[in-house]
Amino acid sequence: MAEIRFDDRVAIVTGAGGGLGRSHALMLASRGAKVVVNDLGGSMDGSGGGGSAAADKVVDEIKAAGGEATANYNGVDTWEGAQAIAKTAIDAYGKVDILVNNAGILRDISFHKMTMEDWDKVNQVHVNGTMNVSKAVWENMRENRYGRIVNTTSAAGLYGNFGQANYSAAKMAIVGLSKTLGIEGDKRGIKCNVIAPIAKSRMTETVMPPDILGKLLPEYVSALVGYLCSEGCQETGETYAVGGGYVSRVAVVEAPGVAIPVDKINPELVAEDWGKINDLTGAKAFNNAMEAAGQAMKAVMGG
């Protein structure tokens, strides 16, 4: 198979000063992309910040390997910050072809102890951050009729996880946002997909044993990001679990369900059909809301 390259492509990777973002940036640059390495250099809970060292170090690494990169230190969590990130790419390289929304923070705490600030901060960085930077590059991608956006969710969002109500909500919001961007961008050549990674980083170092982390290097995740950022990738709105060489599509599916006659429907009939309602045999994934509504309508019309 021909090598996947990004020559003449301009990429932005948010939160690229360390962990997964650094690895995505190195991968894209090593295959010819000009990369904007964004990171505000904050701590894991989003406090602190304002440091340029993290992004600068990755830019230096890329340049030392013969690649092209520019640093940006803005936060993704404000619209002004996102616009400045896009401007860095346009000023340096004239366009944006690829956006990897990777920046993230954690404020893990059980729901009964969670403060409104814990909720707001996590949602601002993940949900608003992903939306802000996507919106800041959207017009440029539309004009150029080309774009590859890769967003970052988490198993905690897809499946839930104790102590992560704020993070789970934010990460699932990113999936919904990406599905609709995939639909809206398709006519203009913009593909938008999502990864649910598992990798060694400062986020996982304290919760996973070192022998397992050694098998979960960030570059294994970046391989999928490389494919999703490539011209050849035609999927859009999809989500992929990825880590340690494992790559797998994740989908929201709907069971065939039942159609209870509306002149009789009541809680008891729902209870009687509970087994069939929950049976995922023959469940389907849909490309958009209309397709899903179609299955419900077909059942109602007796089709």
Q: Which residues does the annotation mark as catalytic?
A: 167
* Site for ligand NAI contains 89 (CB under 6 A): no
Pairing of β 34-38 and β 68-72: parallel
Which window, 25-33, 110-118, 191-199, 222-230, contacts ligand NAI (CB under 6 A)?
191-199
What is the nearest approach in angstroms of ligand NAI to the Cβ of residue 301? Answer: 42
Q: Which is nearer to ligand NAI, 38 or 134 (CB)?
A: 38
User: Site map for ligand NAI, 94-123, x if CB under 6 A?
Assistant: --------xxxx------------------
User: Site map for ligand NAI, 125-154, x if CB under 6 A?
Assistant: x---x----------------------x-x
Q: Which of 165, 198, 224, 242 binds ligand NAI (CB under 6 A)?
A: 198
What is the nearest approach in angstroms of ligand NAI to the Cβ of residue 161? Answer: 10
Q: Which amino acid, 53?
A: A
What is the nearest approach in angstroms of ligand NAI to the Cβ of residue 81? Answer: 7
Q: How far is CA 267 from CA 18, 257, 270, in A?
A: 52, 16, 5
Instruction: Judge contact between 198 and 244, C-beta under 8 A.
Output: yes
126 token code pair? 């993940």
Binding to ligand NAI, residues 243-302 (CB under 6 A): none
| 36, β-bridge pairs | 12, 70
What is the nearest approach in angstroms of ligand NAI to the Cβ of residue 87? Answer: 15
SS3 162: coil
Residues 6+ apart with CB under 8 A from 108: 163, 164, 167
Q: Which of 39, 97, 118, 238 binds ligand NAI (CB under 6 A)?
A: 39
Tokens 């072809």 -> residue: 97
Q: Which of 10, 40, 58, 242 binds ligand NAI (CB under 6 A)?
A: 40
Pairing of β 253-254 and β 284-285: antiparallel
Q: How far is CA 98 from CA 9, 86, 234, in A?
A: 7, 11, 14
Provide the CB-side half-sphere exposure for 85 (13 A, CA). 37
| 224, β-bridge pairs | none
Which window, 33-41, 180-188, 254-262, 266-274, contacts ligand NAI (CB under 6 A)?
33-41
* Site for ligand NAI contains 182 (CB under 6 A): no
Question: Phi then psi for 95, rounded to 5 degrees?
Answer: -170, 175
148 token code pair? 């590859």
* Site for ligand NAI contains 201 (CB under 6 A): yes
What is the nearest approach in angstroms of ligand NAI to the Cβ of residue 225? Answer: 11
Contact footprint for ligand NAI (CB under 6 A):
14-15, 17-21, 38-42, 44, 46, 54, 75-77, 102-105, 125, 129, 152, 154, 197-199, 201-204
